[in-house]
């Protein structure tokens, strides 16, 4: 959240208006309004009503996204406490946190994803790090991806016998979990057509498929008619991803203009116990959004701010 860091990234600025040729836009170029919005000293917190597919049924819950700028260590791949003293190691990133909370019968699920994607994607194309956790009464799991020079290094720690502890090396392809950050930074550079992808880590927890590269195809298009459950009158663009090998589809709906707010998403896939699987759609629809320095609101009296986000627990 240091204002000076963005200056080293932006040498040519383009306006927030639509219509610029994608082929004329360098990856590192950001809208002129980017600095004003993302380096204002606050984070963007958005709450969503969640209908989560689990064990063949839809479960009511909530999801929260947190987008905030931070100074990251290229060497250690952690947040820098004093970046001004380590300027050669500092790299500005957009941190994306996603939490999901829902209940299956008697026991609750709590899931969290963190993605650390640099703004300087001319030189660092993909996130430096991704972590995910899943907790429920059966146990908990943790997964971490680190970007190395020539590959991704992934470690998975699971309480399931068939998964156990794993160390995985994969080529540097697109990561599903970075698509959200790419939308916020520059959706014109989202991957389209056919490509290889590493599927989302939270979804991998729920379906327990192997962590590997999958064949995918994607497109993006403007939505011409309003979608009532998205709770917005703004012009919307949809990014649609199909992971062929998993028979799974993800659609993210976001505002056509900067700051490319994410209004909701849908995931369609086969879910349920082995003997009773069926196609279900997980859906998240926007409730409330705040731009706030949440790290300075940790007193008991600040809990009322959660009500402004329609979060009551």
pLDDT in tens, 260-290: 999 999 999 988 777 778 899 999 999 999 9
**pLDDT beyond 50 at 12:** no
What confidence category does residue 119 fall into, taking pLDDT thresholds of 50, 70 and 90? confident
Nearest CA among 118, 102, 27 for reference residue 64: 102
The percentage of residues in the chain with a pLDDT greater than 90, rounded to a whole number, is 66
Which pair of structure tokens corresponds to residue 302? 């600040």
What confidence category does residue 219 fall into, taking pLDDT thresholds of 50, 70 and 90? very high
Q: How far apart are CA 189 and CA 125, in angstroms?
A: 11
Mean pLDDT of 97-126: 93
Secondary structure E strands in the chain: 43-54, 57-73, 90-104, 107-118, 129-136, 139-147, 152-157, 165-170, 174-175, 193-198, 213-223, 236-243, 248-255, 262-271, 278-292
pLDDT attached to residue 225: 87
pTM value surpassing 0.75: yes
Q: How far apart are CA 33 and CA 181, in angstroms?
A: 17
Which pair of structure tokens corresponds to residue 73? 């260590």
The percentage of residues in the chain with a pLDDT greater than 70, rounded to a whole number, is 90
What confidence category does residue 46 fall into, taking pLDDT thresholds of 50, 70 and 90? very high
In the block, tokens 């590959």 appear at 151
pLDDT attached to residue 42: 95
pLDDT attached to residue 272: 79
Which pair of structure tokens corresponds to residue 163? 């998964």
CB 115 within 8 A of CB 177: yes
Q: How far apart are CA 43 and CA 295, in angstroms?
A: 9
Nearest CA among 114, 125, 108 for reference residue 27: 125
**pLDDT beyond 70 at 15:** no
* Rounded to 5°, angle at Cα 136 from 309 and 248: 75
pLDDT in tens, 82-102: 777 777 888 899 999 999 999
**pLDDT beyond 90 at 27:** no
């Amino acid at each position: 959240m240091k204002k000076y860091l963005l200056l080293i990234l932006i040498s040519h600025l383009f306006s927030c208006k639509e219509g610029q040729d994608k082929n004329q836009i360098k990856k590192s170029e950001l809208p002129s309004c980017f600095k004003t919005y993302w380096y204002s000293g606050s984070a963007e917190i958005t709450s969503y009503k969640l209908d989560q597919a689990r064990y063949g049924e839809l479960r009511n819950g909530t999801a929260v996204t947190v987008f905030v700028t931070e100074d990251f260590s290229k060497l250690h791949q952690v947040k820098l406490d004093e970046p001004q003293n380590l300027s050669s190691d500092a790299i500005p990133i957009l941190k994306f946190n996603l939490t999901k909370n829902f209940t299956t019968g008697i026991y609750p699920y709590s899931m969290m994803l963190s993605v650390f994607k640099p703004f300087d994607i001319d030189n660092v194309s993909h996130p430096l790090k991704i972590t995910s956790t899943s907790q429920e009464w059966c146990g908990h799991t943790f997964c971490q991806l680190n970007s190395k020079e020539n590959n991704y290094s992934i470690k998975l720690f699971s309480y399931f016998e068939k998964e156990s502890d794993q160390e995985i090396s994969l080529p540097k392809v697109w990561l599903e979990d970075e698509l959200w950050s790419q939308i916020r930074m520059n959706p014109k550079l989202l991957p389209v057509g056919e490509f290889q992808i590493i599927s989302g880590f939270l979804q991998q927890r729920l379906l327990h498929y192997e962590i590997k590269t999958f064949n995918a195809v994607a497109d993006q298009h403007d939505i011409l008619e309003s979608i009532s459950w998205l709770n917005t009158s703004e012009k919307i663009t949809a990014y649609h991803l199909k992971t062929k090998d998993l028979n799974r589809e993800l659609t993210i709906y976001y505002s056509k203009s900067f700051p490319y707010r994410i209004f909701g998403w849908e995931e369609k896939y086969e879910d349920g116990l082995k003997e009773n699987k069926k196609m279900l759609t997980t859906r998240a629809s926007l409730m409330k959004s705040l731009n706030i320095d949440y790290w300075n609101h940790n007193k008991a009296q600040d809990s009322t701010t959660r009500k402004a986000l329609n979060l009551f627990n």
